[in-house]
């Protein structure tokens, strides 16, 4: 039973309790979003597929006045999730446009190359601050290990990356390195 990318995050979210598609999207947006996003256009069709495959089922309503379709894991769904989590081959994929710009920064003059690095540093610093200030408070009520660990990684990674950029900037600014750049554009 191969789980699609969206199925993984949907099943994982449902493991913590029954949720609607809307709720799943909201939780993803303020938790896994920075390393695993999902849109309505994926979530709703995926819920259908998972139901058809017997991995999730409709949870009885027992809620307020709003129309809402909550889903829960079935035993098979719980098993599929656990076996994916224990499975060994995962892909780590990083798509970082700032890093691509850095790769080509030698085609800019030194001042513009410094700009590329400064923006990368700022983006990482902003991300770290956002996770600490906006996201961490939301995680305070969560008891399970996972969300806290992932959040700590997110903060640590972004702080690391911002510092790396800062060190690199210091090297570039003092100009002691013999790195090659393009001539200033006239």
Question: Which spans of this chain sit near DNA (rule: CB under 7 A)?
Answer: 4-6, 20-23, 37-42, 44-45, 47-48, 64-70
* Binding partner of 132, given DNA, its own copies, none, CB within 5-8 angstroms per partner class: none
Residues in contact with its own copies by CB under 8 A are 8-9, 12, 15-16, 31-32, 34-36, 81-82, 84-86, 88, 90-108, 112-113, 115-116, 119-120, 123-124, 127, 143-150, 152-153, 156-157, 160-161, 164, 168, 179-181, 185
* Binding partner of 107, given DNA, its own copies, none, CB within 5-8 angstroms per partner class: its own copies
* Binding partner of 17, given its own copies, DNA, none, CB within 5-8 angstroms per partner class: none
Smallest gap from Cβ 76 to its own copies, in A, equals 15
* Binding partner of 131, given its own copies, DNA, none, CB within 5-8 angstroms per partner class: none
- b/e burial code for range 28-43 (CB count within 10 A of at least 16 → b): beebbebeeebeeebb
Q: Residue 180, class by beta-carbon neighbours within 10 Å (0-12 exposed, 13-18 middle, 19+ buried)?
A: exposed
Nearest to 24 by CA among 41, 38, 5, 3: 38
Question: Which helix (H) or strand (E) is 125 found in, with range?
Answer: helix 110-130
CB atoms within 10 A of CB 93: 6
Question: Which helix (H) or strand (E) is 73 found in, with range?
Answer: strand 71-73
Could you tell me if 83 and 157 are in contact, meaning their C-beta atoms sit under 8 angstroms apart?
Answer: no
Smallest gap from Cβ 64 to its own copies, in A, equals 27
Nearest to 98 by CA among 112, 83, 118: 118
Smallest gap from Cβ 129 to DNA, in A, equals 23
Complex with DNA: residue 67 or 86, whichever CB lies closer = 67
Smallest gap from Cβ 176 to DNA, in A, equals 37
Smallest gap from Cβ 63 to its own copies, in A, equals 24
């Amino acid at each position: 039973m191969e789980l699609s990318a969206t199925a993984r995050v949907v099943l994982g979210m449902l493991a913590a309790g029954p949720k609607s598609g809307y709720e799943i999207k909201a939780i993803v947006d303020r938790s896994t979003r920075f390393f695993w996003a999902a849109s309505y256009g994926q979530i709703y069709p995926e819920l259908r597929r998972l139901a058809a495959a017997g991995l999730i089922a409709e949870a009885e309503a027992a809620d307020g006045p709003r129309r809402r379709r909550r889903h829960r894991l079935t035993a098979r769904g719980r098993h599929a999730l656990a076996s994916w989590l224990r499975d060994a081959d995962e892909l780590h994929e990083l798509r970082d446009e700032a890093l691509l710009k850095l790769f080509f920064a030698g085609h800019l003059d030194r001042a513009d190359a410094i700009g590329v690095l400064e923006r990368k540093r700022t983006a990482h610093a902003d991300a770290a601050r956002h996770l600490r200030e906006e996201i961490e408070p939301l995680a305070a009520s969560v008891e399970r290990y996972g969300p806290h660990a992932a959040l700590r990684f997110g903060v640590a990674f972004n702080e690391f990356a911002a510092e790396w950029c800062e060190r690199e900037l210091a090297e570039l600014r003092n100009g002691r390195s013999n790195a090659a750049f393009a001539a200033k554009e006239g």
